[in-house]
Amino acid sequence: MGYRGSNLAVCFILFIALPLLSILIEARKSKLIQSNKAVSDRTGKLFSLFNVVKFENEACVTQSDQTMRGTCFSQATCQEKGGRADGNCASGFGVCCMFAIRTCGGTVVQNCTYIQNTGFPAASNTVSQTCNYMFDRIDANICQVRLDFDTTVLRTDPGLAGMCGGAGDSLQVGSPFSPSRFAFPPTVCGTLTGQHMYIESARTGNTAGSLAIQTGTALGDRRYKIKVTYVDCQSRLRAPSGCAQFFTGVSGTITSYNFQGGEFLRNQDYTHCIRQEEGFCQFQLYETPGVPDAFSVSENGNGQAQVQICKNRNFVTVPSMAINPNGIRGFSDYRCGMTFSSQSGDTTPGALLSTRVTPFRVQVHTLKADDGNQVTFANLKGFSLDYNQIPC
C-alpha cells in the first residue's frame, strides 16, 4: 500500500508539473522569439540607415592621376555603368568612378569620359587609320559637348605647312547642329594640349555628336587623351551658339589651334568667345607678353586693320561699334600681318580695346592653301593673345 500510494503521489506531481513546465517552455520560446525580432529590427534599422545614405554624383579627382576626373558613384553603380573605381569620394561612402575608351573607336555613354589612343600614355605610331567615336545622347537636355585636349599631339603634313589631312593627321568633329557633317568646328591637328573645343548638339536624335581621329601616312608618334563633357542647356558653362572655344573669367589667354606646335593651320573659320562677367562691359586684347611671335598670321599686311588689305590673307577680327567709312555701324576690326596693334600700320604691338558688342568674341579666318605672293604658311605660327575685361 505504501508503494502504491507513493506512485499515486508521483503521478499527481507529474500531472501538475508537466503542464506548468510546458507553459514555462512556451513562455521562454516567446521571449526568445521577441528578443530575436528586436535584434532583427535593430539590425534592419541599422542596415536601412546605411542604405539611405545618399550623395551627389559630382565630379571627383581620381587617385591614380590627379589631373583626371571621375564621377562619384557607389561601388555597385560604378561597376554597373562599366566604370573603374579610382579612389574614394563622399566621405568614403562612394568611389571616384573613372570612364575611359582606350580603343580605336567606341561610343561615349557616360559624362566625363576620356578618349585615349590605344596604349596611352605610350604613343601610337599606327598610320592610315581612322578611329570614330560617337557621343550618345545621355539626356534630352544636352545642348553641347565640350572636348578638353588634356594631351593631344597629332602630326601636320610634313610637306605642306599647316595642313591637316593628307600625309598628316586630322581631328574632325561632327555636329547635329551643323548643315553638313564637319561644317563646325574646323578640322584641326598638331599639338592641341591644353586647348578645348565645343560642339553644338541639337536636342533631337540619338547622338549628340561625333569625333573622328585619322592618322596620315607620315611616320611618327601620336598620342591623345581627350575628356568629353556633356553641357546642360541651362549650364553657365554653355557657350553662345557658334563658338568653338569659350573662356570664362575677367582675364585669360586665347591661342590659335596648334600654336604650341609652331604652325598656323590652314582652312580655319571659327570663333573664340569670352563670357561677359558681371559688372564688365568691354574687353582689351593684346599680344601675350614674353611669348615669341605672339602674333604671326600673315607675312604681308603688318599691323594693318583695313578690310581691303586683310581680306585676302589670314586674319582675326574683333567686333566693333565704330562707324566705318561707309557709315555702317557694327563692323569688325580686322588684324593681319605680324603685329597686333590698335592702330593701322603699327609695327609695335599695342592693345586693342573692344566695344560693347556682346558676346565678346574673336573670330579667326585662314586660307585653304598658299595664295601666290599674298600668303604662305611656311613661317607662320599663329597667335597668342591675352584679354582683360574692362569694368562698366
Domain co-membership, 194 together with 303:
no
Q: Between 243 and 308, whose confidence is greater?
A: 243
| The three three-digit cell numbers of residue 338, written as one number | 605680324
Is 29 inside a domain boundary? Answer: no
- Compute the C-alpha angle 210/213/219, nearest 5°: 180
pLDDT band with cut points at 50, 70 and 90 for residue 312: confident
Region 171-199: mean pLDDT is: 87
Q: Note the pLDDT tens digit of each residue in 151-169.
A: 999 999 998 899 999 899 9
Do 194 and 206 belong together in one domain?
A: yes
Same domain, 213 and 120: yes
The answer to whether residue 59 is domain-embedded is yes
**Which sign, positive or negative, has the C-alpha torsion 71, 74, 79, 80?**
negative
String of DSSP letters for 137-193: ---TTEEEEEEEEEEEE-PPPTTSTT--STTS-EEEEE-TTSSSTT-SS--B-SB-T
**246 lies in a domain?**
no
Number of folded domains in the chain? 3
Asked if 94 contacts 66 with a C-beta cutoff of 8 angstroms, the reply is: no
pLDDT: which is higher, 326 or 290: 290
Q: Are residues 92 and 120 in the same domain?
A: no
- Confidence check: pLDDT of 13 > 60: no
Same domain? 199 vs 212:
yes
Instruction: State the average pLDDT over residues 49-72.
Output: 78
Looking only at the bridges linking them, the beta strands covering 94-101 and 113-116 are parallel
Instruction: Say yes or no to pLDDT of 356 above 80.
Output: no
Stretch 164-193: mean pLDDT, rounded? 87
In a domain, 22, yes or no: no
34 pLDDT above the threshold of 80: no
Residues 259 and 321 in one domain: yes
Q: What is the pLDDT of residues 90-144, one digit of tens each?
A: 888 899 999 999 999 999 999 999 999 999 999 999 999 999 999 999 999 999 9
Do 262 and 377 belong to one domain?
Answer: yes
Which residue range forms the structural domain that includes residue 316? 251-391
Among candidates 62, 45, 23, 25, which has minimal Cα distance to 150?
62
Average pLDDT, rounded, for the chain: 82
In a domain, 38, yes or no: no
Higher pLDDT, 176 or 384: 384
Specify the CATH number for the domain of residue 231.
Answer: 2.60.120.290
Please check whether residues 256 and 128 belong to one and the same domain.
Answer: no
Which of 42-51, 208-217, 288-297, 350-359 comes out lowest in average pLDDT?
A: 42-51
State the average pLDDT over residues 334-340.
86
Q: Do 259 and 233 fall within a single domain?
A: no
Q: Mean pLDDT, to the nearest integer, of 26-31?
A: 52
Residues 6+ apart with CB under 8 A from 109: 82, 136, 138
* Last residue of one domain, picked from the residues 217, 238, 259: 238
Tell me if 353 is assigned to some domain. yes
Is residue 79 domain-shared with residue 172, that is, in the same domain? no
Task: Give yes or no for residue 374 having a pLDDT over 90.
Answer: no
Q: Would 75 be classed as within a structural domain?
A: yes
Q: 99 near 113, Cβ under 8 Å?
A: yes
